[in-house]
Amino acid sequence: MTKHNHHVVPHPDGWAVKRAGGNRVSLVHDTQQQAIDRAREGARKQGSELLVHNRKGQIRERDSYGPDPFPPRDKR
């Protein structure tokens, strides 16, 4: 399964969940929190990233649910 990031973006009808690389929104919710909860669920299942945008479309928050490509070094 391809890991697509999940974006929470503003939408004329509220807040939308959109997968990276897609042209259409997956779901539209009344509140940003509802959209975040749904997108987080999808990101966890796929081991991808969640990116939350503000009303201007700028990324304001991100969470990663996949393996860390740059894990911290062991300080022994």
Confidence of residue 1 (pLDDT cuts 50, 70, 90): very low
Give the model's pLDDT for residue 60. Answer: 96
The string of pLDDT tens digits covering residues 8-37 is 999 999 999 999 888 898 899 999 999 999
14-19/27-29 β-pairing: antiparallel
The DSSP secondary structure of 19-50, one letter per residue, reads ETT-SS-SEEESSHHHHHHHHHHHHHHHT-EE
| pTM recorded for the entire structure | 0.82
The strand order across the sheet containing 6-11 reads 27-29, 14-19, 6-11, 49-53, 59-64
The string of pLDDT tens digits covering residues 42-56 is 999 999 999 999 999
